[in-house]
Structure 1
């Protein structure tokens, strides 16, 4: 059974919340809650509209049948009246009718006086002259010879048996006439008999039939040519006499249809109508009943409003509930993500803490080994210098081999201290665009002849703040790894760019950085190797081919510089190492021409040096070298003894006025006793006459404290030539100023 990891114990796995499925479900419910009511309302509204139109059509059909029966009775009665009048004057010519006018008038008055629809009954002669009337006696001099109904009846036309609406000459009111021809025995035309009907009679009947002016329906009586005879609601005569516009109703009349339903727009008020029409018997007259579509739409809108309210009020409540559920889900997802991020961050912090403890332990181990190794290198280096200065020419080859081994040892020690974060960094502002092309030869030599080098350096790259020597070493380490990953050749690309990281980006670092991308086209790394690529002392190379310190040095250098190193790789896809190094806030200084070196002159005497070193062999070798350079050396075992000695000398100086017996103090930092080298330098700062101090160390952790004291640092194992140069400079200063007691602590030639 697999044991649980510590991070799993602290942060147990939580089942993944499928927020996407829940969100899609709620959105689907919301869409359904919107779409389904809308579809239902639309379907109901459509069906309701069709139903109301069908009901309106049925109502018009029923009403028009009643109106047709009424009109048929009226016209049948008129036809009977006309026939009785014809029989009354049968065999009489115009003069005969005039001679019997009084009796004919009385009979006409008797026949038509009992019918409310009859306005007048008249007899006209062959020439259209009024011969007798139910309204007047004697008749006025009136002729209708030019009237359409008279001309039409005389010519045998059917339509004109019913005239258009007019103000009658005899009746003196708005009427339309129905007439038949009078003929003599031989069948020739002898005149007409006309009955004037009141449109108001039909209007009154239609009003009662429809139930008043609030009815949504209209009624009309028209001729076969669509001329209006009667209409309800009542229409002014000017509109009645206006010709009817072409529409579906006129088309139906032109086709000779006896009944039907059409949709038209009224010629009187322009309103849309559903019109049912029927022909009145064999007469050239039609009865129509129209239903206003505006009334249908108004009723439909009222019903739709009630439907919408009854349907959408609960739907809106449901929408709000789903919307609130979506908001709650979003808040829950955000809280979940924050919790996950916090848990992940805590796991990362815990992992980083364990890694830090691991690196700290490794660093302490490596640092201790490197410190002792540095002392050994110092011993070997000092004794090799002694042999060279003593002129051991016969051992020149052996000394060169020792010096090469010393350089390799120094490089290895530097890598060990760099991985352990104990290698001092000498950061400076670097112009990448100017500096990187100068590394071409260095990278070219590291890559070998089979690998092509491509450098893509942007001109607008920011300057960065780094240790140039450590950066060069990092580039070399990556280049060597890339060379080994491309045994058959390939391409190594160096690219630079500017990047900025914000806190919300979730990157481990924030701020402005210069990105150095180092990419190869090699075999790549499997995931298990990639996960351990930055682990110290881990290597997949054959024995003797790698130390496992290359990529860890790169990672440690970037981290200590305030940046980060990242690596991406896949089998067959090559490897990409990205260095993120901090942007410099200062502009890099331009290179200045080297100042002419003053001609070296021999110093009149050597320096008096207090050497503080706990390692006897290192102290002996350094003392011998300094003595060979012509200096007087006094050795002490640790800083405690050195402080006692210096305090005693300062007390003697105050008593006698004699200068201090030392011109310079060279001290190691780590020594046994209560005080170390930095404590010694701080103590010397309290002297009225200060002494120059050089501190020797291999640890970066001492640099921060050392910056606050007037001292210079030398990294172990230091270059004897560099120390010699400084000592010669200090000698010349003392020679030029006899009263100078090493009052200046500026140490030219020593790198901090």
Structure 2
């Protein structure tokens, strides 16, 4: 699980809610800084400074593109008109020339033309020789044989019987009056022919008069028309209505002889349009074009003028780059100024938050100091009361156990009631000591991933049937070192409060996550922690109640329903564990309590039953116990119980007297070799006199007797000191069965070491 980083703003809120707030009147009022509005204003300016130039550039670019396309369309329309007029003059001249040749051969059949070939050749050469576009003028017979030509005399033997234009004209097809581009039979060069049928006297087909035109002539004209350069952005094409290309400029070595059959131009021709403008992808030039086309007179030919859109866009891109450069250069400077203003605002906000964090921490420290003084005074009072109350509970518990062990009949109901009262009193004492920071903690390393699911039934019992429970132990949650019993009590206290806040039902969620606090976060804690969040969907708390939520003895519940020690116990437990508790709530929005518990460095400890070994030792003899207890009634009850367990008990009322007994016994042991008269020491820690129980334990262990020592206490600070001494510790109030298990374990150890009290120390 990746640990969360802590946001400073949240740190301010948590640190102020985790401790009691001081009197706000003691702090000067500070004007609020509305960084959000200022940031939104700067961001709006930045957006406007970016969007407006972009919109302007986009509008100008779009307008410029449309203007360039409109200009290109106008140019193609003007140019195609010129090309149409030129082609029409050429074709009309050819039509006139064909008519003169028809008149020349009127009344002559094929034999007659062949007989007058010399005369006809000269006249054909004279008529066709003055036109650069004319490659040859030829006369063919009714079977396609060449009869006369302007290029050759005598005419070579050849026939165009199988040629498309001959067959088409003979069949009466208008299209074939202008042939496709081919290699001429007569001229031997690339030409296309304009042919006219010769008629016999009876009106039948008598042959063909054909004028071969050079496509190169049209190419040269189009070159001059478009500016005399092969790199022109425009193209010119002379094409038949079926798409066959007659002439084209600029030439492409791989250009096809026919235009695409399903192009927009082909569709316009199919619709019978004589002129217009289309956009199309040309298969001849392999480019996108704006094409203006016009039909040439009554001939099956169109002339096309196209403008390459790639050339339009290239010029448009150049214009756009200049526009962008001129527009965005000052805009970038403005963006930089606004961006620097945003950074400065961020630094100012960060400095403000640091100041707020420092002020919040100062308030928290002052509040914590006052709370600490209050808790110190309360702890002193509670400690004294709890110690005396624990003694009363111990007296009552011992006597109940005595009654149970003696098998008193007819009092089971009364004894059970007393035991329930004992448990309630022990719980109350534990809460009081916890709030006063005097509750001893038995810490161990705990894995929440394994432990939290086991608490489901415990929490369900505390929440009731109307509240649904959701537990999310997280993934790879760090282990932590806590007192499991105190943690369970904290969860129960929070769950009970959540149940009371959700009278009509709701949801209670428990979540565990890792979190890291840094020094710059402004939070009272630093380091790695596990955050245990407990959230409900209840009615929530008003701000004035939230401010006192952790205050001891403060409760909003009806009389008899709450002690005001639940949340204070939670807060005290977290602080005693080295962490912190925080609470957030709002009316109608539920309550969230977060426990921050420090990460443990070791691995979780395996939970298992305490192996006393008493059943395996076979030891049946009691121990000789030195009981040190200043309260006579506690001493009497404990002594009676120990004797009922089969142990011999020597009772003294303070540590000074006990130490004198050990001094005398040790001196006697040194002089006579007689062993010590005790097998174990059971002592209270808090006693009147010069020494307490810990001092006594240290003195006993100093004799190098390895005598087992059991200390009993109800104070956390005494327990912390006792942990540094090689002794066993019982926290008041304790269960007599726990003491019995400890004594059985000691008895087992003595039997294993061969120092059975029955053999080594005979009864006296």
Please tell me the TM-score bracket, short chain as reference. 0.5 to 0.7
State the 1:312 CA deviation. Answer: 3.9
Equivalent residues of 1:179, 1:194 under 8 A apart: yes
Q: 1:528 aligns with which of 540, 544, 550?
A: 544
State the 1:420 CA deviation. Answer: 0.5
Aligned to 2:698, what secondary structure does the other structure show? helix
State the 1:419 CA deviation. Answer: 0.9
The higher relative CO (CA closer than 8 Å, separation ≥ 6) is in: 2
**What residue number does 1:589 align with?**
608
Q: Are the structure 2 counterparts of residues 65 and 201 from structure 1 closer, same or farther at C-alpha, using a change threshold of 3 Å?
A: same
Matched length = 697
State the 1:585 CA deviation. Answer: 0.9
**What residue number does 1:708 align with?**
724
For residues 42 and 195 of structure 2, what CA distance do their matches in structure 1 show? Answer: 82
1:736 matched to 2:759: yes
Equivalent residues of 2:379, 2:437 under 8 A apart: no
Q: Are the structure 2 counterparts of residues 546 and 662 from structure 1 closer, same or farther at C-alpha, using a change threshold of 3 Å?
A: farther
Q: Are the structure 2 counterparts of residues 378 and 239 from structure 1 closer, same or farther at C-alpha, using a change threshold of 3 Å?
A: closer
**What residue number does 2:368 align with?**
355
- Once the two structures are superposed, the pairs formed by residues 612-651 of structure 1 within 5 Å of their partners are 618=631, 622=635, 649=664
For residues 636 and 697 of structure 2, what CA distance do their matches in structure 1 show? Answer: 20
**What residue number does 1:300 align with?**
312
Aligned to 2:309, what secondary structure does the other structure show? helix
Aligned to 2:556, what secondary structure does the other structure show? coil
Q: Are the structure 2 counterparts of residues 326 and 573 from structure 1 closer, same or farther at C-alpha, using a change threshold of 3 Å?
A: closer
Equivalent residues of 2:45, 2:338 under 8 A apart: no
State the 1:349 CA deviation. Answer: 7.5
Equivalent residues of 2:161, 2:167 under 8 A apart: yes
Equivalent residues of 1:678, 1:706 under 8 A apart: yes
For residues 576 and 201 of structure 1, what CA distance do their matches in structure 2 show? Answer: 91
For residues 585 and 468 of structure 2, what CA distance do their matches in structure 1 show? Answer: 20
Q: Are the structure 2 counterparts of residues 234 and 41 from structure 1 closer, same or farther at C-alpha, using a change threshold of 3 Å?
A: closer
1:425 matched to 2:441: yes
State the 1:340 CA deviation. Answer: 3.5
- Once the two structures are superposed, the pairs formed by residues 289-438 of structure 1 within 5 Å of their partners are 289-293=303-307, 296-313=308-325, 322=335, 333=346, 336=349, 340=353, 343-344=356-357, 347=360, 350-351=363-364, 354-355=367-368, 357-371=370-384, 374-375=387-388, 378=391, 412-427=428-443
State the 1:303 CA deviation. Answer: 0.7
Aligned to 1:362, what secondary structure does the other structure show? helix
Deviation string, structure 1 residues 620-648 (Cα, Å, up to 9, x no partner):
98599979988666666x86x987x5897
**What residue number does 2:74 align with?**
54
State the 1:5 CA deviation. Answer: 3.6
- Once the two structures are superposed, the pairs formed by residues 201-240 of structure 1 within 5 Å of their partners are 203=218, 206=221, 210=225, 212=228, 214=230, 216=232
State the 1:681 CA deviation. Answer: 3.1
**What residue number does 2:17 align with?**
none
Aligned to 2:368, what secondary structure does the other structure show? helix
Aligned to 1:499, what secondary structure does the other structure show? strand
Deviation string, structure 1 residues 518-558 (Cα, Å, up to 9, x no partner):
97x98765443344233102123456665422432344345
- Once the two structures are superposed, the pairs formed by residues 479-490 of structure 1 within 5 Å of their partners are none
State the 1:331 CA deviation. Answer: 10
Q: Are the structure 2 counterparts of residues 668 and 571 from structure 1 closer, same or farther at C-alpha, using a change threshold of 3 Å?
A: same
Aligned to 2:35, what secondary structure does the other structure show? coil
State the 1:381 CA deviation. Answer: 7.3
State the 1:63 CA deviation. Answer: 4.0
State the 1:61 CA deviation. Answer: 1.3
Larger mean CA deviation between 52-61 and 41-50 belongs to 41-50
In structure 1, list runs of 5 or more residues that go unmatched: 742-752
Q: TM-score, structure 2 length as denominator?
A: 0.62
Aligned to 1:367, what secondary structure does the other structure show? helix
For residues 151 and 607 of structure 1, what CA distance do their matches in structure 2 show? Answer: 139
Deviation string, structure 1 residues 654-698 (Cα, Å, up to 9, x no partner):
985577998476766457888654344334432244665554543
RMSD: 7.1
Q: 1:681 aligns with which of 694, 697, 704?
A: 697
For residues 59 and 454 of structure 2, what CA distance do their matches in structure 1 show? Answer: 72
Larger radius of gyration: 1
- Once the two structures are superposed, the pairs formed by residues 505-584 of structure 1 within 5 Å of their partners are 525-541=541-557, 546-557=562-573, 559-560=575-576
